[in-house]
Amino acid sequence: MKYIKFLLLVLLFPVTFLTANPFDYEISLRQKSITAVSNEIKILQDEYAKIDEKASALRSQKINIQRNIRIEKDKIARNKKQIEVFLGKIDHNNKEMMVLVQDIAKLNSQISSYNDFFGIDDLDLRLERKKYESKLQQYEEKRRQIEDRIASSLQASANERLLDELIGEKQKEIAMLDKSLNAVNEELALKKRELNEKKQYHQILETNLQRYIDDYKRKISEKAKAEELRRKELAKKAEQERLKKEREERIAREKREKEQSASQSSSPNAVARLLKRYKIRPLVAKNIYNPPVKGSIINRSIGVNFAVRYSVKAKTPVYAISDGILYYRSSDDLGTRGRVLGIAHDSKNISVYQDLSLDDNLTFKNHQMIKKGQLIGYTKSNQMNFYIFRLDGKQIAAHKFLKK
């Protein structure tokens, strides 16, 4: 059983490795193929260089043999010219000797006839005959010299035959060299063609590998983008959930505070007791309080509410006009009018601040003591309304309490 488990582990490990990194494994295989082809190309280049050196040596040997043959042929041609010259001289000498022999024969016949007629020798004829005989000897000596030269020329001719045989052997050697050179050239052309095919195959492998790597990078980039988009969507959803949860918690908390405030401050007597405890001075309508916000007044009384409307920039700070306790603070914008906050200043008057932003990051407790000039919020938009109410719900003119 242990052996079977070990065998399964050995067999499944390569599969797990391949499935874990298929792209890297494929790239590794292709790179190994390119390396193998590169090694084959290097071997072919070495073989091609060796064959080329061999072909160069055969060509040099052929050129040397052809040069030697040309030199020997030039020697044979010069010997033939010399033999032709000697043969011409022999012909000319033979002709002159024939003329001399004929002249001597005529002279001998004249001498014989003269002796037969007179019975004595003529001295002039004998001198003439000696002259011709001496000349004949000179020609014979010259003939012997020419014959010696001819003999040496014939020996040279025999040497020429040997040279011809040597030239024939050299030509046969050249023919064999030509065959070898042709075979080497054919082998060289074959190796060159094989080398070109390997280079083309190597180029194709490199191109395919680069294309595969580009596709792999593109897929990784697309996957990373998709993962980043998914992560952003998850983060966005998480943020929305967080904001939703915080909003729900804030609404629940403010609802509880509102209910608690309503339960605690539903009675004017309860508010009066708190004001008395904090020793808060009551409001007086004598235009002595600073405006709750820095801005220009649009209207001093709006309809029946007797409110003061200010023109301001968004996110402008809003301050309490006088000491008091927190009477009411809404948790939403109450019909797009922003947050509403009320401060009780005495047993009769409440200052109300409308169009406040919900995102003020300020926290207040129910019936918290509020000081004069304390920051209580920020404007939501470019307007803000300020009211003065009685605890019994009656509205009075707010501008009478503010400085002009």
Tens of pLDDT along 206-264? 888 888 888 888 888 898 999 999 999 999 999 999 999 988 888 887 776 665 555 44
Which pLDDT score is estimated for 160? 64
Q: What is the DSSP letter of 290?
A: P
Q: If you compute the radius of gyration of the chain from its CA atoms, what whole number of angstroms results? A: 69
Strand partners, 341: 329, 353
Position 3 pLDDT exceeds 60: no
With bands split at pLDDT 50, 70 and 90, how would you rate the model's confidence at 19?
very low
Please tell me the distance from the alpha carbon of residue 139 to that of residue 251, in angstroms, as a whole number: 158
Query: Which residue would you say has higher pLDDT here, 67 or 341?
Result: 341
Domain ranges for the chain: 2-217, 270-400
Q: Encode burial over 181-196: b for 16+ CB neighbours within 10 A, e otherwise.
A: beebeeebeebeeebe
Each residue's pLDDT tens digit, 319-374:
999 999 998 888 766 666 788 999 998 878 899 999 999 888 888 887 889 999 99
Strands 324-329 and 296-299: unpaired
Quote the CA–CA distance of 205 and 116 in Å, as a whole number. Answer: 122
Look at residue 115 in the predicted model and tell me its pLDDT: 59
C-alpha 209/C-alpha 23 separation (Å) is 11
Give the pLDDT of residue 121.
55
Q: Which of 23-27, 199-203, 267-271 has the highest mean pLDDT?
A: 199-203
Say whether 383 sits in a helix, a strand or coil: strand
Write phi, then psi, for 402 (nearest 5 degrees): -100, 150
Average of per-residue pLDDT values in the chain: 79
In angstroms, the Cα distances linking 207 to 31, 204, 333 are: 12, 5, 65
Q: Which amino acid is at 221?
A: S
The pLDDT-based confidence of 311 (bands split at 50, 70, 90) is very high
| Cα torsion angle, 232, 234, 237, 239, sign | negative
Say how far apart CA 86 and CA 328 lie, in whole Å. Answer: 153
* Cβ neighbours, 10 Å, residue 288: 12
* Amino acid making up residue 261: S
What is the three-class DSSP state of 343? strand
pLDDT of residue 154: 63
User: Please, what is the angle between helix 268-278 and helix 123-265, to 10°?
Assistant: 110
CATH class of 270-400: mainly beta
What is the predicted pLDDT for the residue at 79? 74
- Tell me the C-alpha to C-alpha distance, in Å, between residue 193 and each of 52, 55, 186: 14, 17, 10
User: Regarding predicted confidence, which is higher, 403 or 150?
Assistant: 403
Q: Domain 2-217 classified CATH 1.10.287.1490?
A: yes
Q: How confident is the model at residue 313 (pLDDT cuts 50, 70, 90)?
A: very high
User: Is the model's pLDDT at 304 over the cut of 70?
Assistant: no
pLDDT at 266 over 50: no
* Paired tokens of 299: 């209207």
Q: Do 359 and 343 contact (CB within 8 A), yes or no?
A: no
In the prediction, which pLDDT does 262 show?
A: 52
Report which of residues 35 and 127 the model is more confident about.
Answer: 35
> What is the Cα–Cα distance from 336 to 343, expressed in whole angstroms?
21
pLDDT at 63: 86
